[in-house]
């Protein structure tokens, strides 16, 4: 399985797989690469296979998320086995209660122990995330009882598997074709491929600023930093993430601007155009694009705006050290059904 086919086996709001190629084109092949806001790891997982840079660090404040990436790296077979469950409302309710109580206790040491993981918490978290409607999964602030997702995508982690009906030669776009193997084997193979790709990735759990200090970025002649903080809380649906700082993007932008002239750094800042446009100097080139859907509020980007307006509000800013030509760029993508790990 080519590593260029890999995506997270769960949906994630704000993932950047659709612009991963543009990010890598801008930062090139750095010796040291850091994602302070890991999420679905969309950009890291889509790093070109020919790249030689060997130091990679991913970080997120969400301990459930970081635990998943550590667990699937260390014990992909066990995580895949526990993910292999059908959609069931009773199980969804019971497992959610277990995760926000017992599961939370189990992974409390995530931040202090870089080797810790819990496969059961990882599997049940991903399984439930594929069924949960809206925000609040494992937030612990209740109410904990929700209906599972009953749309076409509502098949739990299984929705990432190939189509197994009468037309079952092909697969959906979440998994590569793996021959005539059964559905359980496909899931095992996919998680094994994720583990192989992430084997040397350092997964940290904590505040984003810990992985972009001078010491943390000291390794290598070139350093790529992809900054994809949560959008401002007043321009999108609030509490989309379990750990959701509604104004963190301001601090992230300030760090980017303070370090953008470092000749070793190639920094890409992602966010809504309306969040950052007034603050970005001309030395930072920008690419605007339209995503296929977005979450927002009616006042997000002007009177009468909302989700569709935010869909056209996406932008990437490139630091002066990035490897791109020209000035302003515009990227427009065709609308496609949104799937997990985007």
Neighbours of 293 (CB within 10 A): 14
List the structure tokens of 301: 């980007």
Please measure the distance between the N-terminal and C-terminal CA atoms of the chain and give it in whole angstroms. 19
Q: What is the pLDDT of residue 44?
A: 96
- Closest alpha carbon to 205 in 63, 26, 44: 63
> What pLDDT was estimated at residue 290?
80
Separation of alpha carbons 249 and 258, rounded Å:
14
Whole-structure pTM value:
0.80
Tens digit of each residue's pLDDT (9 = 90 or more) over 111-166: 889 899 999 999 999 999 888 877 778 887 655 545 555 554 555 554 333 233 33
Q: Which CATH superfamily is domain 3-61+206-332 in?
A: Vaccinia Virus protein VP39 (3.40.50.150)
R_g (Cα) of the chain, nearest Å:
20
Indicate the SS3 state at residue 91.
helix
> What would the pLDDT profile of 115-125 be if each residue is shown by its tens digit?
999 999 999 99
| Model pLDDT for residues 25-53, shown as the tens digit of each residue | 999 999 999 999 999 999 999 999 999 98
Helix orientation angle between 63-74 and 76-83, rounded to the nearest 10 degrees: 120
* pLDDT given at position 86: 86
One pLDDT digit (tens) per residue for the chain, 342 residues = 455 579 999 888 777 888 999 999 999 999 999 999 999 999 999 999 999 988 999 999 999 999 999 999 999 999 999 998 888 888 998 999 999 999 999 999 988 898 999 999 999 999 998 888 777 788 876 555 455 555 545 555 543 332 333 333 222 224 444 444 556 688 899 999 999 999 999 999 999 999 999 999 999 999 999 999 998 655 545 545 555 555 799 999 999 999 999 999 999 999 999 999 999 999 999 999 887 664 444 334 443 344 566 778 899 999 999 986 544 454 544 333 333 344
Q: Are strands 329-332 and 223-227 parallel, antiparallel or unpaired?
A: unpaired
Q: What are phi and psi of 310, to 5 degrees?
A: -65, -25
Instruction: Write down the domain spans for the chain.
Output: 3-61+206-332, 66-198
In this prediction, residue 151 carries a pLDDT of 54
d(CA 227, CA 32): 14
In this prediction, residue 308 carries a pLDDT of: 61
Q: How many CB atoms lie within 10 A of CB 237?
A: 18
Q: Tell me, what's the pLDDT at 123?
A: 96
Total Cβ atoms within 10 A of residue 152? 8
Q: Specify the pLDDT at position 182.
A: 55
DSSP 42-90: HHHHTS-TT----EEEEEES-HHHHHHHHHHHH-HHHHHHHH-----HH
């Amino acid at each position: 399985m080519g590593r260029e086919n890999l995506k997270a086996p769960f949906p994630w709001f704000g993932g950047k797989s659709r612009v991963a190629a543009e990010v890598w084109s801008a930062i090139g092949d750095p010796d040291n690469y850091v994602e302070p806001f890991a999420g679905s790891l969309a950009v890291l997982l889509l790093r070109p296979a020919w790249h030689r840079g060997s130091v990679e660090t991913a970080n997120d404040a969400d301990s459930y998320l970081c635990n998943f990436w550590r667990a699937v790296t260390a014990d992909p077979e066990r995580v895949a086995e526990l993910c292999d469950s059908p959609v069931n409302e009773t199980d969804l309710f019971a497992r959610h209660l277990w995760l926000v109580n017992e599961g939370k206790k189990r992974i409390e040491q995530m931040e202090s122990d870089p080797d810790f993981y819990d496969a059961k918490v990882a599997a049940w978290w991903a399984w439930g995330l594929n069924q949960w409607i809206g925000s609040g999964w494992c937030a612990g602030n209740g109410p904990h009882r929700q209906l599972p997702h009953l749309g076409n995508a509502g098949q739990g982690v299984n929705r990432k598997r190939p189509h197994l009906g009468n037309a079952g030669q092909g697969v959906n776009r979440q998994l590569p074709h793996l021959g005539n193997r059964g559905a359980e084997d496909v899931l095992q193979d996919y998680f094994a491929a994720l583990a192989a790709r992430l084997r040397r990735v350092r997964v940290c759990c904590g505040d984003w600023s810990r992985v972009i200090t001078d010491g943390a970025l000291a390794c290598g002649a070139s350093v790529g930093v992809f900054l994809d903080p949560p959008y401002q809380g007043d321009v999108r649906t609030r509490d989309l993430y379990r750990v959701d700082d509604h104004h963190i993007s301001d601090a992230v932008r300030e760090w980017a601007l303070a370090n953008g002239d470092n000749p070793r750094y190639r920094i890409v800042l992602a966010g809504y155009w309306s969040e950052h446009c007034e603050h970005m100097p001309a030395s930072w080139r920008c690419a605007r694009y339209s995503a296929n859907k977005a979450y927002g509020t009616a006042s997000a980007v002007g009177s009468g705006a909302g989700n569709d307006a935010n869909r056209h509000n996406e932008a990437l800013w490139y630091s002066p050290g990035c490897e791109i030509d020209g000035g302003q760029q515009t990227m427009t993508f065709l609308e496609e059904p949104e799937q997990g790990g985007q």
